[in-house]
Amino acid sequence: MRETNHYAPEKLAGQAFDKWQDVTLIEIKALGVGIVMAVNPLSCTADYWSSDPLLSNEGIQKVMTKNCFENISSFFHFNDCSIEKRQ
């Protein structure tokens, strides 16, 4: 969570940074929806949030919005870039 929240502003640097909201521990844990997506693959990620009941996954929709999932997935990060740069 900490590294994702440090990494996003670095990557966005002035672009859409004003729209970024730090992720919470609950949201990071909710990324377990990726496991559900692997077990129940659809043709595209957006389909999990489709209004079509044949495509959508209500469980995933209850955990987080599509935008939230996409934002966190885009900047999901584990390492401390400040340490990486010093090496």
4-59 pLDDT per residue, tens: 788 887 777 766 656 778 888 877 777 778 888 888 899 999 999 999 999 898 98
DSSP element (H, E) containing 35: helix 33-39
- pLDDT at residue 15 in the model: 67
- Better pLDDT: 40 or 1: 40
3-state SS class at 19: helix
Distance of alpha carbon 69 from alpha carbon 60, whole angstroms: 10
Question: Residue 76: which of 28, 12, 14, 41 has the closest Cα?
Answer: 28
CA dihedral 55, 58, 64, 68 (to 10 degrees): 10
User: 24-28, 47-51, 71-75, 76-80 — which one is most confidently predicted on average?
Assistant: 47-51
Does residue 1 register a pLDDT over 60? yes
